[in-house]
Amino acid sequence: MIAGRDYIGVGVGAMVFNAAGQVFLAQRGPQAKNERGCWEFPGGSVEYGETLTAAIIREFREEYDMEIEVVELLHVADHILPEERQHWVSPTFIARYVGGVPRITEPTKCTAIGWFDLLALPQPLSVVTLEDVRVYLAKNN
């Protein structure tokens, strides 16, 4: 059974801000589960018995060697990809960067990373990241 295809998966993400107010993005690699080549606020699947916040902290530690502090839940999106026949429930958190030197530890899943101004993000953005930006700007304007 495959999460997102055989049953609805849960994939958590985070808008991580640094001290300069920039957000961390990653470009999805050639072996990503979907939306290859798109830039996104990183995250990953929640494992059995794991809380949402524990999952996002683990994902940043494993995939980018970063330590983050979760601040609050931004929103929850239904991430439905009809062409790939996938459905994910995607909670996105606001978080602070607190340590580590960001680096790509899984180059097949991610091909580039960087810090960007929220109003000057690289393109194309993933479906959920587009929604995250829209919701964040609506709440903070």
CA distances from 105 to 29, 70, 71, 95 (A): 12, 21, 25, 20
* Domain CATH code at residue 77: 3.90.79.10
Domain containing 77 equals 9-139
Given a cut of 60, whether residue 4 has pLDDT beyond it is: no
pLDDT tens figures, 71-84: 999 999 987 878 87
| Residue 1 within a domain | no
| Residue 2 within a domain | no
pLDDT tens figures, 45-54: 999 999 999 9
Q: How many domains does the chain have?
A: 1
Count CB atoms within 10 A of the CB of residue 61. 14
Q: Are 11 and 88 in contact (CB under 8 A)?
A: yes
| Residue 4 within a domain | no
pTM beyond 0.75: the answer is yes
